Amino acid sequence: MKKTAKVKTFSPTEKNYVNIATGTYRAGELKGIIKINSQSCVGCDTCRHVCPADAINGAIGVAHSIDEMKCIACGQCLINCPFGAIEQLSFVEEVMKNLENKEKTVVAVIAPAVRVAIAEEFGAPPGTLTVGKLHNALKKAGFKIYENNLAADQTIMEEGSEFIAKVKYWLLGERSEELNKMANHPLPHFTSCCPGWVRYAEIYYPGLIPHISGTKSPMQIAGPSAKTWAALDIWKVDPRNVYTVGIMPCTAKIFEASRPEFKSSWKFLKEKGYIPEDTPPFPDTDVVLTTRDLATLLKMKGINPLELPEKENETETEIYTGAGTIFGNSGGVMEAALRTVYYILSEKEPPKWDFYAVRGHTDGLREAEIPITLKSGKTIVVKAAVVNGIKNHLDKIVKDVIKGTSPYHIIEVMNCPGGCIDGGGQPVNPMGTSWIDPLLPLRLNA
């Protein structure tokens, strides 16, 4: 069995923390998450062809560099650099220290795409599913688990409700104090759980912000849930000692965790008197490890998930539905949303829970029309689009939205080709590039 390629990492320094708002960053955010090592770069230009944000500079044959103000930290350049010249900021050392601190409750929030990729780092064939083995490995390493998929179930209830309110206001003309808030949130509705896409929109298409869902990503729902409900009611520990680690297929999630608005657990716990008024602010998600980082950490601890049993005793924070699981693939968020929207608007189960039309990680753009018969007897048709791979498939969709000619009501956007399954934090194949070849269209047209 061939091993995955090794990706170099570096620990954060003061230079990575933004102290005062600069360019496209706000105070508190992390920058420089992905960097090119000029000593290793041969200037082959591959990275520029996969970068969705036009953030890479340098002439062919000369060492390239990343413009941090344009970069959305997606890591697509890293997983496609054939020379291993691109490195990633990593919190493995910090997490190791927290695992050794007996006062800390260290919580792993595991994204769906991690459980089908981590096994590759231990020599198993790509796509080997290891849910129980992974949970057992994390527990052996000292983590408690708060399933990202459980939070994804909450995300979809929230996002589904938000979209339904928009449908009622904009398509059905219903008015109420609650629905009238949607006057400032027009259709089409864009999903918000991809932080690469959200930062891309903020930098390049700020006019789209009113269209983007206000629902937090599953990781940012899991963090505060772990620090409030789970800390107080399940684990019965001091929430100030809960240290949440997002374990993600994604390098943009490292950035998302640092966004200053994500401190809702600290605010809630203070307001309700669970922690003293003068407690310094703490984030909902303390740090993020990529799939690769987790493999490094487990190897440092001498733990191989493949040697552990698949069976496990699930706790309240480890259970979830299939809707939460499919977030890892392009179309998954849309399918989960459509199931909820159909059920709530029609008050009936859909003829099939599988919305095959929005599935498929190999198409950069998929479209679907879903007829829903309302309780009143009226039928509406929800028009949906699913985009994966901002680089090649987003512009036309967005331009139509800006012109006001978009035919869609709801649009899922995932930055990475195929969705999170090919995220910038996933294992890199033995050839030193990503498993999904985003340059294929270029090669075919060459």
Q: Is 110 in the site for ligand SF4 (CB under 6 A)?
A: no
Give CA–CA dist 3/417, Å, rounded. 23
CB nearer ligand SF4, residue 250 or residue 372: 250
Between 137 and 390, name the residue whose CB sits nearer to ligand SF4: 390
Q: Report cis status (omega within 30 of 0) of the bond before 82.
A: no
Using alpha carbons, select from 240, 216, 74 the residue that is nearest to residue 148: 216
- List 10, 83, 204, 229, residue binding ligand SF4 (CB under 6 A): 83
Applying the rule CB under 6 A, the residues between 185 and 214 that interact with ligand SF4 are 194-196
Positions 312 through 341 that interact with ligand SF4 (CB under 6 A): none
137 lies in the binding site for ligand SF4 (CB under 6 A): no
Of 432, 394, 295, 423, nearest in space to 52 by CA: 394
Residues 188, 246, 283, 423: which binds ligand SF4 (CB under 6 A)?
Answer: 423
Residue (10 or 83) nearer to ligand SF4, CB: 83
Would you say 53 or 165 has its CB closer to ligand SF4?
53
Asked whether position 86 contacts ligand SF4 by CB under 6 A, the answer is yes
Rounded least distance, CB 423 to ligand SF4, Å: 3
The nearest distance, CB 126 to ligand SF4, in angstroms, is 16
Q: List binders of ligand SF4 among 227-256 (CB under 6 A).
A: 249-250, 252-253
Sequence letter at residue 431: M
How many binding residues for ligand SF4 (CB under 6 A)? 41
Q: Which of residues 7-66 bind ligand SF4 (CB under 6 A)?
A: 34, 36, 41-47, 50-53, 55-56, 64, 66
What are the residues whose beta carbons fall under 8 Å from the beta carbon of 428, sequence distance 6 or more?
Answer: 4, 5, 7, 78, 79, 292, 434
With 0-12 CB in 10 A as exposed, 13-18 as middle and 19+ as buried, what is 362?
A: exposed
At 179, give phi and psi (nearest 5°).
-65, -30
Q: Which is nearer to ligand SF4, 1 or 59 (CB)?
A: 59
* 321 Cβ contact partners less than 8 Å away, ≥ 6 residues apart: 149, 153
Q: For residues 358 and 40, give the distance between their C-alpha atoms in angstroms, rounded to a whole number.
A: 40
Pick the stretch among 126-134, 273-281, 361-369, 417-425 that binds ligand SF4 (CB under 6 A): 417-425
Q: Does residue 71 belong to the site contacting ligand SF4 (CB under 6 A)?
A: yes
Task: Provide the token pair at 283.
Answer: 């984030």
Q: How far is the CB of 3 from ligand SF4 (least distance, A)?
A: 20
Which residues belong to the active site? 159, 162, 193, 213, 253, 256, 261, 420
Taking the least distance from each CB to ligand SF4, the nearer of 228 and 330 is: 330
Least spacing, CB of residue 434 vs ligand SF4, in Å: 11
Q: Select the residue whose beta carbon is closest to ligand SF4 and give its number.
A: 423
- Judged by CB under 6 A, the residue of 73, 156, 336, 398 near ligand SF4 is 73
Cβ 369 to ligand SF4, closest distance in Å?
Answer: 25
Which of 301, 299, 293 lies closest to 245 in space, CA to CA? 293
Which residue is it, tokens 């944000």?
Answer: 53
CB of 51 to ligand SF4, least distance (A): 3
**Nearer Cβ to ligand SF4, position 269 or 428?**
428
Nearer Cβ to ligand SF4 (242/337):
337
CB of 83 to ligand SF4, least distance (A): 4
Out of 7, 30, 72, 179, the residue judged to bind ligand SF4 by CB under 6 A:
72
158 binds ligand SF4 (CB under 6 A): no
Task: Report, in Å, the least distance between residue 94 CB and ligand SF4.
Answer: 21
Q: Which residues bind ligand SF4 (CB under 6 A)?
A: 34, 36, 41-47, 50-53, 55-56, 64, 66, 71-77, 81, 83, 85-86, 194-196, 249-250, 252-253, 414-416, 419-420, 423
